[in-house]
Every structure is written in C-alpha cells, then in structure tokens.
Structure 1
Amino acid sequence: MSTTNGLIRILDALDASPAATALRSRSYDLLHLAPGETVADVGCGAGRAVAELTEKGARAIGVDLDEEMIATAGRRHPEADFRLAPATALPLADGELTGYRADKLYHVLDDAAQALREARRTLRPGGRLVLLGQDWDTFVIDSDHPGLTRAIVHARADLMPAPRAARRYRNLLLDAGFDQVEVEAHTGLFTDGAMLPFLAGLAHAALDSGAITQEAHDTWTAEQTARAERGRLFLAVPMFVASATRP
C-alpha cells in the first residue's frame, strides 16, 4: 500500500466521524456562499468537501499537489473539477473565487505566506477564506506511559514543516492583510479503534526519527491496541477554524 493510500484510509475514518462532519458543515457556513458561486478546496485530498460543496449548489474546484489524491478524487467524484497544483501556485485567475477553503493543509506547507498571497490573489474583494487544521503538538492521548506519550507526540510534530500552523492562523491572516479575522476552537474526540492506525503512525514516526526505542514503540503500540480492543482508547485532537474576508 502506498503512503498516500494509507493516508486516505486514515482521513476517511477521521472524516466520517460525527465531529468531523459537523466541523466541515461549520466551515461551509463560514464561507457565506450563494448558489452558483465559485469556491476552491485547496488540499482537497480525496474530494469529499468538493462533493459536499457541489451538493450545496456551489461551483467547487478541488486542488491538490498529490497525484494519487487527485486520481482518487476523480474516481470517486468523476463529475467534479479537480486540478493538480500546489497551494502556492493555484491554477486560477485573479479574483475568480468567492470562497477559499483549506482543511488540514497548512501544517505541511513550507511557505504559508505565499499560499495566503495566492488565496488573496484568487479571491474577489469581499470573498471569504476558511482554514481548518489540527495542532500537531497538542494531541491528548490517554496512556499508562504519559512521558513516552509526550515524547511520541512531540517527535511526530517535529517532523512536520509547520506543526503549529493552526495556532498561528489568526496572525498569518492578519499579516496577509485579511479583514474580519475570527478563530474558533473545536475538539475531535475518538474512543474506538478507528483511529488506531493514526496512533500507530505517530509511534512509528517517533521510532524512525530516533526519538524512542523499539522497546518503547512496542510497549506503547501494544497498550493502545489493547485499549482499542477493550473500548478504552482516548484521543482528543484540538482543531482550529479561522475565517476571514478579502478586503
């Protein structure tokens, strides 16, 4: 299985949860779109949001840099408009958009400022922008090994280009010249085994980086697996939603 296919499986499990569904709905409301207006979902992944926005009457365009993601999105939603491009060079005309949305994207960007310049370029005056994302340095995971858990979470965060981008949304948007900047905090809560692959991925990344030993990795993953099997897993993910208007 490719790395992208594994990520798609995790995202599918995450995005199917009631909390994630409600958060996506909130992001759509914050766009203030009228029927027929054009919105880009940047970092669209497998295309779920593009399909949902289209169902709401918007002209939705999905943009992603990952060829496998775009291919999967196209297979799942063959009627939709998906384009292969980076967030820092959108294949869109100046002022083409009424709405810009990016979900779980900015933590993987090396240049958030350039991505926001592209957002501002492609949005018409009065257009709305919504960013969603998790803070990778503040996952809350119940474990009998809290010190090891902290080491795993921080080690995984340190492998990201911008693990704390979500807590910076407000200042990034202000620096980029957006108006009416507002931020909301939400928490995704998971207590079943659906997110066990995600937790295992955290531990595996910490092991590969040299932050923990093989023994520590095996101990922690065994504990989380046992918790999932007993219905005792607990993962809380802080999510931030920022909205703003292009002046």
Structure 2
Amino acid sequence: MTVPNSTAATARLIARLDAAENEPGAVRLRQRSYELLDLSPGTVVDVGCGAGRAVAELNERGVTAIGVDVDELMIATARDRWPGADFRIGTAQSLPIPDQAVTGYRADKVLHEVPDPASALEDAHRVLAPGGRIVLLGQDWDALMIDSSHPELTRTILRSTADSVPNPQAARAHRNLLLDAGFQDVTVEAHTGIFTEPKFLPIVEGFAATAVTAGSITPEQSAEWVRDQRFRARRERLFVAFPMFVASARRP
C-alpha cells in the first residue's frame, strides 16, 4: 500500500514499483497469490493496488477486481494505465466496499505501512463474504540482505531502513493477525525475493538516502556505499534478498 506522497515522490515510487514488479520472482509471487485466492469467477479487492498491475491481471483471469489505494496520484496513474478497471481511493482500515461484498481480498506489501494492522484485518473480515479467501504478501524489513564491501555500514543502513517503516515485522505476524481476526484455515508460505538486475539499483540507493535523512549515516558514508553498489551493478554483482511471507486464509 502506498502512503500519501508529493507528486515527485509518487512518480519516483511508481518507477521503482515498475522495476520491482517486472522481476521474474515478483511475477511468480503475484501468480501464486492469485492461485491462493482460488477465485474464478468472483470479486476481489486488491488493497494497496498501487499503479494497478494486479487488478489488470486479475481481470484478465475473469475475476472482477477492485483496486484501492490511499494515494490519489497512484489511483490516477492506475486509471490511466487500465481504462475501465475499478479503482477507488481509500485506506486498508476503512475500505470503500460494502459489508460482505467481495469473495476475495488481496494485500501485497501493505500491512507494514499500516500503523495498526489488526484494524486492517478487521475491515478485511467485514468486506469478505462468508467462505471468502484472503491473501497477504509482505517482506520482512528486519531481514533485508544486501551484499556489500562495507558490511558494518550496510547493517546501519538496513536498520535505518527498517526503522523508517511503521511495522517492519508485520509480515512475520501475518498468521497470528489472521487468527486473531477470526479467519480459519490459515497457511503461510516463505519465499525469498532475490534481485540482481541493475534496474533495482535505484531502490538500493533509496535505502542509503533514507539513512542519511534519518541521521544514521553521513552523506559521505552514503556516497561511499552507493559507489560500491553502482560498481557491483555495472559488473552484474548486485545482490539484494529478503524473505517474503505469503499467508492465506478463509473467512468463516
């Protein structure tokens, strides 16, 4: 799920999302999430839909998909890219969906952005019809890994990155959050996202920028670290990895 941004910040975020979403591993994980929804036909709400790729792919599968995001520019981009698809502005805690109106709920990299994930799952329970399926995907920000020639500096940068996220460990809590919200038949899969392509470099550089903004490292340290990552990218030696947890369940 995206959070409100300036126009320039949202544009940069869309570019980063486009790069990440086209990675083979990301494509496979999205397809897995659709399988776990087990819906055709049906109506699915994709919470934190961003620029709308998953909504379009679900529609292509014969599913009626509704995309919801809090960022107005993100929704405008989605509407421009996928004319005719249903995109709505709203939050995970208060979806613009009537009670028991959907048979599927999907949230990809959303709960770590929500101050109170439990409230989001309460609303998921509200909008899902009995027997409806829910699928949550998310990375564990405290387990992010980057190969670097500066391991201690990397630890500082990654810690600062995790600290910038409202709930960096939300993904490892998916199972218990679903159980607490009253869902049944909860299952969890662990996947590892591995990114080695140079096009992922802007995201890596963003981690260093976040650490500078937080005061965790100096601009000089950031420049040194980024130089190493750019050198690695030029030599096809970039390596970023993090665990992705995919939880699914059924509303009784």
Interval containing the TM-score (normalised by the shorter chain): over 0.9
Instruction: Name the counterpart of 2:40.
Output: 34
- For structure 2, the 5+ residue unaligned runs are 1-6
Name the SS of the counterpart of 1:45 in structure 2: coil
Work out the CA distance in 1 between the residues paired with 2:232 and 2:98.
50
**Given that residues 112 and 168 in structure 2 are in contact (C-alpha distance below 8 angstroms), is that contact kept between their aligned partners in structure 1?**
yes
| Equivalence for 1:131 | 136
For 2:85 and 2:182, how far apart are their aligned partners in 1?
A: 31
Residue 239 (structure 1) aligns with:
244
Q: For 2:93 and 2:122, locate their aligned partners in 1 and report how far apart those are by CA, in whole Å.
A: 8
How far apart are the structure 2 equivalents of 1:217 and 1:65? 31
* 1:19 and 2:40 matched: no
Take 1:163 and 1:7, find their aligned partners in 2: how far apart are those partners?
18
2:54 pairs with 1:49: yes
Per-residue Cα deviation, 1:67-121 (whole angstroms, up to 9, x for no partner):
0110000000011000001111111111101000000111110111111011000
Give the match for residue 10 of structure 1. 16
1:13 maps to a residue whose letter is A
Q: Between the two proteins, what is the percent identity of the paired residues?
A: 59
Aligned residues: 246
- Contact 2:40/2:61 (<8 A) preserved: no
| 1:237 Cα deviation from its structure 2 partner | 2.1
Verify: 1:119 aligned to 2:124, yes or no. Answer: yes
Instruction: Please give the alpha-carbon distance, in whole angstroms, between the structure 2 residues aligned to 1:93 and 1:230.
Output: 52
Paired residue for 2:100, among 95, 98, 120?
Answer: 95
SS in 2 for 1:89: coil
Structure 1: where are the runs of 5+ without partners? none
Structure 2 distance, partners of 1:162, 1:203, is 19
8 A Cα contact 2:186 2:250, kept in partner: yes
Query: How far did residue 128 of structure 1 move?
Result: 0.2
- 1:1-247 to structure 2, matched below 5 A, reads 2-35=8-41, 37-247=42-252
**Alpha-carbon distance between aligned partners in 2 of 1:239 and 1:134, rounded to the nearest angstrom:** 4
Runs of 4+ in 1 over 3 A off after TM superposition: none
Structure 2 length-normalised TM: 0.96
Paired letter, 2:24: P
For residues 224 and 55 of structure 2, the distance between their equivalents in structure 1, rounded to whole angstroms, comes to: 40
Q: Cα distance, 1:34 vs. partner?
A: 2.1
What is the CA RMSD across the aligned residues, in angstroms? 0.8
* TM-score w.r.t. length of structure 1: 0.98
Letter in 2 for 1:5: A
